[in-house]
Amino acid sequence: MSKKVAVLAGDGIGPEVMAEAVKVLDAAQEKFGFSLEYESADVGGLAIDNHGEALPQSTLDVCEAADAILFGSVGGPKWESLPPAEQPERAALLPLRKHFDLFCNLRPARVFKSLAAACPLRPDIVGEGFDILVVRELTSGIYFGTPKGREGSGADEMAYDTMVYKRSEIERIARMAFEAARVRNKKVTSVDKANVLTTMVLWREVVMEVAADYPDVELNHIYVDNATMQLVRWPQQFDVMLCGNMFGDIISDEAAMLTGSMGMLASASLNSDSFGLFEPT
């Protein structure tokens, strides 16, 4: 039985990357004996040009009929003059994540011994490499919290965003991190800012409660500013890094660059029904 894949190549380097990703999937089908059907759809700036919006209903229909989404990239200088809410990144990728409840982003950062020279860290720091999995909460936090807006004028003009996390949202992403750690090196490092942010106080409390169900997994806590420093000082200390949305966005990009290039790392964004959006780079 074939599985259906919605192919959203998007903008910029997206189509080039997607063409190579499909070649890899074709080779995997032949080697491992499974079958995929591809259906392409417009997203991002391309969709704005062709349909007047970054995520048209026709693209959502293709995704809803698929078993998985293969996603390239969106955005570029051509669309930067649009109102922020209509730009490809905000109007395509974020709504896709929310629509399918893709709350769990898995971003591996692995340096193999043979590729250690590509790492920008000193040889004595990178050693024989490292293997980190960043588990990022993807559908809550400051990117999705309300209210958000901009108002006023002159010296009193202001803009605001709201960071909100529910207990249930923290618990489900924490469980994903602990489950992942169980099949790796059994260590979770939870990244927060509990010394300043009330949401992060709740985050730490819930993570500790979840940890009680995983006595075989070691739990550590680290403030996000220290985490960014420790990644370049001693990356081997980390196994699974559990992060909220904004901190995970930053940490995962930093970890990716430590492998030599952000373009070398794939990621998966999953919901509770095993449906996922997969990004080759």
Q: Which of 26, 49, 61, 225 is catalytic?
A: 225
In angstroms, the Cα distances linking 40 to 44, 93, 98 are: 13, 16, 21
225 is catalytic: yes
Intra-chain end-to-end CA distance of the chain, in Å: 28
Query: Helix 198-211 crosses helix 167-182 at what angle (to 10 degrees)?
Result: 50
Tell me the pLDDT of the chain (281 aa) as tens digits.
799 999 999 999 999 999 999 999 999 999 999 999 999 999 999 999 999 999 999 999 999 999 999 999 999 999 999 999 999 999 999 999 999 999 999 999 998 777 788 889 999 998 888 999 999 999 999 999 999 999 999 999 999 999 999 999 999 999 999 999 999 999 999 999 999 999 999 999 999 999 999 999 999 999 999 999 999 999 999 999 999 999 999 999 999 889 887 777 789 999 999 899 999 87
Residues sharing a CB contact under 8 Å with residue 185, sequence separation 6 or more, in sequence order: 239
Q: How far apart are CA 117 and CA 120, in angstroms?
A: 8
Q: Which of 143, 165, 192, 239 is catalytic?
A: 143
Q: Which of 165, 193, 214, 239 is catalytic?
A: 193
Tell me, yes or no, whether 278 lies in a domain.
Answer: no
Tell me, yes or no, whether 214 lies in a domain.
Answer: yes
Of the residues 99, 124, 157, the one at which a domain ends: 99
Q: Which of 11, 42, 239, 249 is catalytic?
A: 249
249 is catalytic: yes
DSSP 10-69: ESTTHHHHHHHHHHHHHHHHHHHT--EEEEE---THHHHHHHSSSS-HHHHHHHHTSSEE
Tell me, yes or no, whether 235 lies in a domain.
Answer: yes
Q: How far apart are CA 139 and CA 95, in angstroms?
A: 9
Task: Give φ, ψ of 275 to 5 degrees.
Answer: -85, 140
Q: Which domain holds residue 8?
A: 1-99
Residues 119 and 23 in one domain: no
- pTM reported for the whole predicted model: 0.93
Residues 159 and 216 in one domain: yes
143 is catalytic: yes
Work out how many domains the chain is built from and give that number. Answer: 2
